[in-house]
Amino acid sequence: MTEAKASTAIAPMPPLSRREFMNYAWLASLGFVFVVGFGGATYFFSFPRFKVGEFGGIFPLGKAGEALPAPEDPPIHNLEGKFWLVNVNGMIVALYDICVHLGCLYEWQPVSARFECPCHGSKYTKDGTYVEGPAPRSLDRMAVAFTDASGKVVAPADPNAKPIKIPADKELNVIVDTGKQVSGDPHG
């Protein structure tokens, strides 16, 4: 009886060498990084970081026929979204309302038909192109797109958030993605 027990007993594991211990620790840390990284990325892409109508997220502006300015109209300032909505000869663009020099709020000046910054005098045309002053580039832009009644994008934003043509269907909805900002072009 005693002999049978002794034959099935599990021999104790030999102690790990320092090298083995370091290898196991390294593998464990790799696994941890993978799990945390993959889980974090899944979480990040599963949940939008900003709510609709919150700066950084999507701003639905309503039907194109009501939300957009006409070509002869002054730009419309959306304070919550921090952009100016501009119609430039039938093309629509959203301009980030922060001056690209040092971050002041510029304004639309109807007399000169320009955007002008009160801080150091930078000026931009209606489509945001740099005219003069210390600003290093044209105004930054945000992505504008059009969706149908189901929310499906039927006229996508330009990849560089440049002005896009206003669709003929004025029932389409206008959206501005304030999280998709593109820097204005540097000037010579």
Residues that bind ligand FES (CB under 6 A): 99, 101-104, 117, 119-122, 133-135
Tokens 């993959």 belong to which residue?
38
Tokens 């099935």 belong to which residue?
8
In the complex, what is the shortest distance from the CB of residue 80 to ligand FES, in angstroms, rounded to a whole number? 21
Could you count the other beta carbons within 10 Å of the beta carbon of residue 48?
A: 13
In the complex, what is the shortest distance from the CB of residue 85 to ligand FES, in angstroms, rounded to a whole number? 20
Q: Please, which residue, 130 or 146, has the CB nearer to ligand FES?
A: 130
In the complex, what is the shortest distance from the CB of residue 118 to ligand FES, in angstroms, rounded to a whole number? 8
CB 87 within 8 A of CB 64: no
Q: Please, which residue, 129 or 147, has the CB nearer to ligand FES?
A: 129
Distances (CA, A) of 71 to 27, 43, 107, 112: 62, 42, 18, 16
Q: Please, which residue, 39 or 134, has the CB nearer to ligand FES?
A: 134
Distances (CA, A) of 162 to 151, 152, 165: 22, 21, 10
Q: Please, which residue, 91 or 119, has the CB nearer to ligand FES?
A: 119
